[in-house]
Amino acid sequence: MTGAKGMLGKDLMDVLHSSFFRGEVIGWDIEEIDIQKEDDSVAKIEALRPEIVIHLAAYTDVDGCESDKERAFAVNAEGTRHVALAASKCSAKMVYLSTDYVFDGEKREPYLESDPPHPLNVYGHSKLKGEQYVQEWVRDSLIIRTQWLYGPFGKNFVDSILRQAREKKTLSIVDDQTGSPTYTADLAKAICELIQVEARGIFHVTNSEICTWYAFGQAILNLSGIHWVKVLPMSSKDLGRLAARPSYSVFNCQKLKKATGRTMRPWSEALKDYLSTYRQPSADPMNR
Ligand SMILES: NC(=O)c1ccc[n+]([C@@H]2O[C@H](COP(=O)([O-])OP(=O)(O)OC[C@H]3O[C@@H](n4cnc5c(N)ncnc54)[C@H](OP(=O)(O)O)[C@@H]3O)[C@@H](O)[C@H]2O)c1
């Protein structure tokens, strides 16, 4: 696996170690393999003769990609081509993690895997190019598009809201982007299930049910017992991020259900689980 020390990578390593997979699981991150270096990456992966190459490594700073297009394409597109080339040389299956940002959000019903992509930002373009390289080079590939990830092993929206709630009395959160927050632990299990049923092609995989970032933020505070912080809706335009984001980023995950026989649980249940497992309920700072 590449990107093994990232937010999803750590959860996926845990699930792979404890699951069906009887072979050896090897997780690499940038210290072991820099996917930008073609010859080195191909040689290192080839030497392992893997059965499956799971490729998570990416430059995931969406606004950073906008200001450093060269790095975005070097890592997310060309880096993925190097990994795909190695997988094809070993006749390995390749699993590639991609994003809802391959779509523009103009559709007003859930996106199907077969819908034509049209990214709005550099990150989306670079990840889509990665998808195309995987499809071009690898005969047996599984492309999993997901979104709005949070989990215990990386910087994420949930922890950022909890941190800001300790520092401010009012938070403004965008209410004009809709999607499905997805818990890395749930996604890791779904990835393993798809591998287990030998799924191929593109799959949309998120926790079920939808919300805006604003509603997600409110749920984080409510479930954490933080009632003294006021939450105000704001527009993406007012937030002024460098990269444009799709306003409607909702996936149809029926293909996942058909392949594995199950739907992922609603995002609110997963959030409850995450908060109760990893984050302590907060006390009102005024009452301490
Ligand atoms: N996070 C989301 O909401 C989201 C949504 C949709 C899809 N995805 C996709 O899901 C996958 C996992 O995401 P994540 O949030 O777990 O990402 P992450 O936490 O940023 O992990 C990515 C890992 O890749 C490493 N990496 C960066 N450049 C590399 C290079 N040149 N060679 C080798 N490794 C390199 C990073 O190392 P450094 O930390 O040292 O840079 C990091 O450990 C990614 O492919 C991402 O595009 C994520």
Instruction: Over range 5-10, report the average pLDDT.
Output: 97
pLDDT in tens, 145-199: 999 999 999 999 999 999 999 999 999 999 999 999 999 999 999 999 999 999 9
CA of 284 to the centre of ligand 1 (A): 35
SS3 content of the chain, % helix, strand, coil (to 5): 45, 15, 40
Residue-level pLDDT at 288: 43
* Radius of gyration for the chain, computed over Cα atoms and rounded to the nearest angstrom: 19
Contacts of 169 (CB under 8 A, 6+ apart): 228, 229, 230
Which residue, judged by its Cα, is nearest atom 21 of ligand 1?
6
CA distances, 1 to each of 29, 48, 71, 252 (Å): 8, 11, 21, 27
For residue 106, how far is the Cα from the chain centroid? 21
- Average model confidence (pLDDT) across the chain: 95
Catalytic residue positions, numbered: 123
Helices 80-89 and 38-48 cross at an angle (nearest 10°) of 40
> For a pLDDT cut of 70, what percent of the chain falls above it?
96
What's the pLDDT at 285? 57
Give the residue among 138, 139, 98 at the shortest CA–CA distance from 117: 98
| Ligand 1 centroid to residue 7 C-alpha, Å | 7
Encode pLDDT of 28-42 as tens digits: 999 999 999 999 999
286, pLDDT greater than 80 = no
Tens of pLDDT, residue by residue over 64-94, are 999 999 999 999 999 999 999 999 999 999 9
Atom number in ligand 1 closest to CA 57: 24
